[in-house]
A and B are shown apart, each in its own frame.
Chain A
Amino acid sequence: MSSESRGRVRARGLVRWESALVVILIAVVLFGVAESSTFWSTTTIFFGGLDIGQVAIMALPMTMIILTGEIDLSVASMLGLGCAVFGYAFEHHTGVVGAMLIALAVGAIGGALNGFLVARVGLPSIAVTIGTLTMFRGIAEILLGQSEVSGFPPSLEQIGIAPIFLHLAYPFFFFLVLAAIYGVVVHRTAFGRSLYAIGLNTEAAFFAGIRVRRTKFLLYVVSGVICAATGIIYSLQAASAIYTAGTGLELNVVAVVLFGGISIFGGRGSVIGVVLSVIIVGLTEVAFTTINISSQEQQVIFGGLLLLSVVVPNVGEVRNRIRGRVRRAAPPVSAGGGL
């Protein structure tokens, strides 16, 4: 199979999954309307956006990182650290803007640490970011301990209770703006194409002149900053800063990105898929909660959907491979699914 035709097959698979996401989205909406009398309302858009906001924003830097074949499990802890630093600085009279800047700077430093260890030292990102996951949360705990900081300017706290315009919640609006930027960068620039190149074949990308290390380093720094910003947004939305903010969200973020069709091996997927995934997950949560499907049942359904997202695109491949193996006895590429 020539690389060109393989590329076309891949593109077709991609289209398939995104179409599947659109179908799922329509199904979720129809389901919500049929089952709940309150689902078809503007509040659904507002509340759904408010609830999924943090995960949605963090999903974007995660998308880029996974596209290059790496991962960042420290995102939720960085949210917590951003929240804690913001609260801590605010409490120490730096002013709101000062506190924001300090929190963003800490985000950049944390991201740079991840980036340095992954891109420069060459350590496996999953191990590095599990380490920083623990460490960032730990530093947040040292900073705030059991205290909770509140008293932010009420005008800023509006982001937790009022829509920015129409019925869009602030966090979700930020997500959409960022998603548009990410969409353009990933799909319309050389930089974006280089991410796919790195994800598909790091060595080839390197020899093609792509600055692999610098790119990866940059992605982690951006991830740190955006996640710290999410921490600030969370603090304002909740009108309080606490070190435990966002605990455990990292796997949700990864799950949302993968459900959006980004391959865990990198090099495959699109920003629009992630946007669809975010909207589906957000709406599903609202729909399920209004018709009182318990959160434990939601866990099972969500896990099932995640599995579906990787099984469905693979079914064709499995069939092809079995046929291919019979015809050509081609060796399998990897044992099991790999990481």
Chain B
Amino acid sequence: MTATDTDATVITPQAPAAREHRLAATIARFRPGVIALVILVIFGLTTIRNANFATGASIQAILSIAAVYMLLAIGEAMVIITRNVDLSIGSTLGLSAFAVGELFTHDPHTSIAVAFLVGIGIGAACGALIGVITTLIRVPSLVVTLAALYVIRGFVNIIGSGIQIEPSVFPQSLVTFGYSTVIGIPWMFLIVVAVALAAAYWMYAYPAGRELYAIGSNPAAAALAGIPTTLRVFTVFVISGALAGLGGVLFDAQVATVNSTAGTGYELIVVTAVVVGGVAIFGGSGSVIGAVLGAILLQVINQALVAARISSFWDQAIAGALLLAAISFDRLLAVRAARALVAEKGVSYVE
């Protein structure tokens, strides 16, 4: 196979370089570990500046506030791995959060389990609708979910215009749950970690999960190989929607007061987290665990900036520079890892 990409150069085997590149390949493979390391470094640096950053309360807060973003990042990562994107999650979260609030307003005796089911159900329904349009009519998911972002948010704004769901509406058990901990770890964080592990295991151990990577790497080849691409892509949109719906209920539990603006603008934050977490935007590689760590990293940075007493005017500039650094770093690793592969096996590398 010859190099066909415009930017690719045919690389001839170079054995001596192999060792150096093998390190890069290893790092690339353990991307989540690298992010975890970066999180620890930032955490450490901030702690040096302000010892209080490392206290239990502070860590608990980071984990529980990050939980909603992490949850959305799981679904978004799965969607992006199939070479699609879901920009509707912020609006879906808002719809779910508001609808669950309305549910409690109209029937204060609704059980929490029902609330969770309703939230997840609403999200899954949104995801299913998007999935159908994307897969059956074959409309680019970026366009479908961008349209859905407007339609769903518009709908929430219509039904929720001027309505504030008050904290007293939500059952006490739900709102205390927002920050309650078990052996010092926030419940919300544990739930999200459980979801992330389940998703990661599914994508690692089950053929259906692994097929997502195949679809993202080469959709046509995946289809030829007999993978039910339509069903798989539809499924990940339902999952992404359902997780956004669950995120809505967790949002309620955390802030305890909600109006129709909940979740506005979350879509780009979450895509950022997923990409920082090492998921390739054009699909086929990355992991849910990386995406979740990416979300934690963004949260740690935002909180660290305040904790380190840096002017909050710097937040956005630093977050943006970090994202650029992350994807550049990725690229560097990918190139080196590929070279290592070439050096080892003596094949030319096609990007």
A residues at B contact (CB < 8 Å): 73, 117, 121-124, 126-128, 130-139, 141-142, 145, 202-203, 205-206, 212-213, 248, 251, 254-255, 258, 264-265, 294-304, 306-307, 310-311, 314-315, 317-318, 321, 331-339
Q: How far apart sit A18 and B215, CA to CA, in the bound complex (Å)?
A: 33
Closest Cβ–Cβ distance, residue B49 to chain A (whole Å): 20
Q: Is the CB of B139 within 8 A of A310?
A: yes
Q: How far apart sit A66 and B199, CA to CA, in the bound complex (Å)?
A: 33
Which 9 A-B pairs have CB atoms at the shortest separation, nearest pair first? A135-B320, A138-B317, A299-B154, A138-B316, A303-B150, A134-B320, A335-B229, A296-B157, A303-B151
B275 within 8 A of A: yes
Closest B residue to A205 by CB, please name it.
Answer: B6
B319 within 8 A of A: yes
- Chain B residue numbers with a CB within 8 Å of A122 are 7, 331
Q: How far apart sit A311 and B143, CA to CA, in the bound complex (Å)?
A: 10
Interface centre among A122, A295, A317 (most CB of B within 10 A): A122
- Chain A residue numbers with a CB within 8 Å of B6 are 202-203, 205-206, 212-213
Q: Which of B314, B316, B327 contacts A123 (CB 8 A)?
A: B327
Q: Is the CB of B268 within 8 A of A318?
A: no
> Which range contains the number of B residues in contact with the other chain?
35 or more
B233 within 8 A of A: yes
Q: Interface residues of B: mostly helix, strand, loop or mixed?
A: helix
B21 within 8 A of A: no
Q: Is the CB of A307 within 8 A of B154?
A: no
Q: Is the CB of B154 within 8 A of A318?
A: no
- Chain B residue numbers with a CB within 8 Å of A203 are 4-6
Q: How far apart sit A302 and B152, CA to CA, in the bound complex (Å)?
A: 11
Q: Is the CB of B142 within 8 A of A318?
A: no
Q: Is the CB of A128 within 8 A of B317?
A: no
Decide: A264 near B148, CB < 8 A? Known: A131-B324, A133-B320, A300-B155: no
Closest B residue to A317 by CB, please name it.
Answer: B138
Closest A residue to B224 by CB, please name it.
Answer: A331
Q: Is the CB of B144 within 8 A of A130?
A: no
Closest A residue to B334 by CB, please name it.
Answer: A122
Interface centre among B134, B223, B313 (most CB of A within 10 A): B313
A130-B271, A299-B157 known; 19 new pairs, CB 8 Å cut-off, are A121-B331, A122-B331, A131-B324, A135-B320, A138-B317, A213-B7, A299-B150, A299-B151, A299-B153, A302-B150, A303-B146, A303-B152, A304-B151, A310-B139, A318-B138, A331-B223, A334-B219, A335-B219, A338-B140
Interface centre among B140, B158, B272, B318 (most CB of A within 10 A): B140
B321 within 8 A of A: yes
Q: Which of B224, B229, B281 contacts A126 (CB 8 A)?
A: B281
Q: Which of B25-33, B77-85, B110-118 participates in binding chain A?
A: B77-85
- Chain A residue numbers with a CB within 8 Å of B320 are 131-138
B108 within 8 A of A: no
Decide: A336 near B230, CB < 8 A? Known: A134-B320, A138-B314, A265-B140: yes
- Chain A residue numbers with a CB within 8 Å of B143 are 258, 264, 306-307, 310, 337
- Chain B residue numbers with a CB within 8 Å of A295 are 157
- Chain B residue numbers with a CB within 8 Å of A206 are 6
Q: Is the CB of B140 within 8 A of A264?
A: yes
Closest Cβ–Cβ distance, residue A137 to chain B (whole Å): 5
Q: Is the CB of B316 within 8 A of A135?
A: yes
Q: Is the CB of B150 within 8 A of A336?
A: no
Decide: A300 near B142, CB < 8 A? Known: A141-B313, A307-B147: no
Sampled A-B contacts (8; CB under 8 Å): A127-B327, A130-B272, A205-B6, A255-B150, A303-B154, A314-B137, A317-B138, A336-B230
Q: Is the CB of B327 within 8 A of A124?
A: yes
Decide: A131 near B316, CB < 8 A? Known: A297-B154, A303-B154, A336-B135: no
- Chain A residue numbers with a CB within 8 Å of B4 are 203
> What sequence of 0s and 1s flags, for each residue 144-180 of chain B, a beta carbon within 8 Å of any chain A beta carbon?
1011111111110110010000000000000000000
Q: How far apart sit A298 and B161, CA to CA, in the bound complex (Å)?
A: 14
Q: Which of A124, A134, A251, A336 contacts B319 (CB 8 A)?
A: A134
Decide: A130 near B275, CB < 8 A? Known: A254-B146, A307-B139, A311-B133: yes
Closest Cβ–Cβ distance, residue A36 to chain B (whole Å): 21
Q: How far apart sit A296 and B152, CA to CA, in the bound complex (Å)?
A: 10
Q: Which of B134, B137, B151, B324 contacts A117 (CB 8 A)?
A: B324
Q: Is the CB of A264 within 8 A of B142?
A: yes
Closest Cβ–Cβ distance, residue B136 to chain A (whole Å): 7
Q: How far apart sit A327 and B106, CA to CA, in the bound complex (Å)?
A: 55
